[in-house]
Amino acid sequence: MEMASTPRTVEEIFKDYSARRTAIVRALSQDVDEFYGLCDPDKENLCLYGHPNETWEVTLPAEEVPPELPEPALGINFARDGMNRRDWLSLVAVHSDSWLLSVAFYLGARLNRNERKRLFSLINDLPTVFEVVTERKPVKDKPTADSGSKSRGSTKVSRSSDGQVKSNPKFADEGYEEEDDEHSETLCGSCGGNYNADEFWIGCDICERWFHGKCVKITPAKAESIKQYKCPSCSMRRGRP
């Protein structure tokens, strides 16, 4: 087993989850060429592992049955050459998210209801691997409902007769209509432009305003390493709560 001692508390399990997630995000972003090369379709069933020391590994599944921890998706290498590279990476990302959650809740089997809720809340505050790899969504949670004035000239939003915001049909197929609805009236705190699901956004943890990543010079990769984001104006007012 890779761990010196099994994580028991919410904090220990979340630390384990975060380290494994960081490793997998690195494999699917910074180290993607190396990862892609290791997933040879001519080899046996391969799995992508993220380890608690923030390293990743492409290797065969554990031999013991049942394994000490839940296993990642088997055979990710078989689909590699039959799919578009981005689609394949997205597929691996989705399966990796599922595995990370299963490991966290396997380790947390003895937690009580409130502890499990707290663990999931901590996990849910981070973007999923899928969201990072596909740059689908802003880094923070959804903006609040009153976070902006009416949408102006947005090509992504249409309104039905009862005033409800409708999402662009393009996103409905992918199950992202709810997210588009919630962001549709959000305006960039820097340039005032409307939310666009095709662009990377980041939310300030202090004032809770939202910004185009490009307006505040934050890339998705850079946002990954930011624990608490402060927008330029909140950074200037450091002395205030």
Neighbours of 174 (CB within 10 A): 10
pLDDT for position 239:
54
Residue type, 65: V
The C-alpha angle 37, 24, 132, rounded to 5 degrees, equals 105
pLDDT for position 52:
96
Cα separation of 124 and 75, whole Å? 27
Q: Are 146 and 134 spatial neighbours (Cβ–Cβ below 8 Å)?
A: no
Q: Which of 174, 171, 138, 131 is nearest to 29 (CA)?
A: 131
What separation in angstroms does the CA of 107 have from each of 54, 138, 202, 226? Answer: 18, 29, 31, 26
| pLDDT tens, N- to C-terminus, the chain (241 residues) | 344 578 999 999 999 999 999 999 999 999 999 999 999 999 999 999 999 999 999 999 988 889 899 999 999 999 999 999 999 999 999 999 999 999 999 999 999 999 999 999 999 999 999 999 998 755 454 444 444 433 333 333 333 344 444 444 444 444 444 444 555 567 888 888 877 777 888 888 888 888 888 888 888 888 888 888 888 888 877 654 4
Cα separation of 15 and 9, whole Å? 10
Residue 203 phi, psi (nearest 5): -105, 140
pLDDT for position 75:
95
pLDDT for position 181:
52
pLDDT for position 4:
53
pTM score of the predicted model: 0.57
pLDDT for position 149:
38
With 0-12 / 13-18 / 19 or more C-beta atoms within 10 angstroms meaning exposed / middle / buried, residue 230 is middle
Cα separation of 1 and 5, whole Å? 9
The bridge status of strand 201-203 relative to strand 210-212 is antiparallel
Tell me the per-residue pLDDT of 210-227, one tens digit each, with 9 for 90 and over. Answer: 888 888 888 888 888 888
End-to-end CA distance of the chain: 44
